[in-house]
Amino acid sequence: MVMLLKPKSAAAVAVPDGTYKATLSKVSQFDNAYGHRIGFEFTLAGKGVEGEKVMRSTAPNLSATSKLADVLRGLLGRELTAKELEAGVDVEQLIGTTCSVMVLQSRSKSGAVYSNVERIFPAVM
């Protein structure tokens, strides 16, 4: 008997390491091995990466030192106010925001290589 094993899904497109111009194109909520997450999808712009999508996820907990706050500071281009830290930020209102993202190759627990957004920076005018 032949047992043919196939990958669960197609391999993720790997974007070369670097910093790229991007636009926040989607925000979603999901659960994975790390628990409940907020996913920020960025659409890249530029030669060789135009239209490619990369993602950064964080826990949904907002504090001055959280990874979520790092993402928001990069998108907003400023520190979060005390009011924002207390009341929260409507992240869906940030869809369409332009920024720069630093992409580095990472390896998942299953060994798959993917393009991970390590940092988000305000767009350079």
Is 91 within the bounds of a domain?
Answer: yes
Range 109-122 average pLDDT: 89
User: For residues 118 and 125, what is the distance between their CA atoms, to the nearest angstrom?
Assistant: 21
Is 12 within the bounds of a domain?
Answer: no
Give the pLDDT of residue 37. Answer: 95
Q: Residue 45's domain is classified under what CATH number?
A: 2.40.50
Q: The domain containing residue 23 runs over which residues?
A: 18-122
Is 40 within the bounds of a domain?
Answer: yes
Give the pLDDT of residue 13. Answer: 60
Q: Which amino acid is located at 66 in the chain?
A: S
Check whether 19 has a pLDDT greater than 60.
yes
Is 13 within the bounds of a domain?
Answer: no
Mean pLDDT taken over the chain:
89
Give the pLDDT of residue 7. Answer: 57
Per residue in 45-102, pLDDT tens?
Answer: 999 999 999 999 999 999 999 999 999 999 999 999 999 999 999 999 999 999 999 9
Is 64 within the bounds of a domain?
Answer: yes
Is 95 within the bounds of a domain?
Answer: yes
| Tally of domains within the chain | 1
Q: 62: closest CA among 84, 94, 40, 39?
A: 84
Is 3 within the bounds of a domain?
Answer: no
Give the pLDDT of residue 109. Answer: 77
Q: Is 61 exposed, middle or buried (0-12, 13-18, 19+ CB in 10 A)?
A: exposed
The model's pTM is 0.85
Is 8 within the bounds of a domain?
Answer: no
Give the pLDDT of residue 29. Answer: 95
Which helix or strand (DSSP H or E) is residue 72 part of? helix 67-76
Residue 107: pLDDT band (50, 70, 90) is confident
Give the pLDDT of residue 8. Answer: 55
What is the three-state SS of 75-120? HHCCCCCHHHHHHCCCHHHHCCCEEEEEEEEEECCCCCEEEEEEEE
